[in-house]
Amino acid sequence: MSTSQTTAQQSLLHDVEALVAALMGDAPVAELIAITNRIAAAVEYWDDIPAGAISELRSAIDLMHGGQACATVSALLAARSELGAPPR
């Protein structure tokens, strides 16, 4: 895994974890939108992200836009796993 690939995945992983925390903590909508926009940009422009993670993140974004917070968290956690995060 290249350094740029590792950095891209770490950055995306940070945003995934931030969005899960924001959803679980009833964060303001503006914060949710900002994090979601960063994730959406990463999914569209980073070639170094595993395909499974991209699929889960796209699903999470669609679910979030549909107002399905629990399903969004589930998809985000699946994406987190695809990104290689250690289990907690």
Kindly report, residue by residue over 19-37, the tens digit of the pLDDT.
Answer: 999 999 989 999 999 999 9
Side chain identity at 11, as an amino acid letter?
S
**In whole angstroms, what is the distance from residue 60 CA to residue 6 CA?**
22
What are the domain boundaries of the chain?
A: 3-82
Q: What percent of the chain has pLDDT over 90?
A: 65
Q: Is the pLDDT of residue 7 over 60?
A: yes
The structure tokens 């974004």 sit at 61
- Residues 52-67: tens digit of each pLDDT: 999 999 999 999 999 9
E strands, the chain, are none
The pLDDT, as a whole number, for residue 70 is 94
Bigger pLDDT: 42 vs 73 = 73
Tell me the C-alpha distance between 34 and 28, whole Å: 10
Which of 46, 45, 72 lies closest to 59, judged by CA?
72
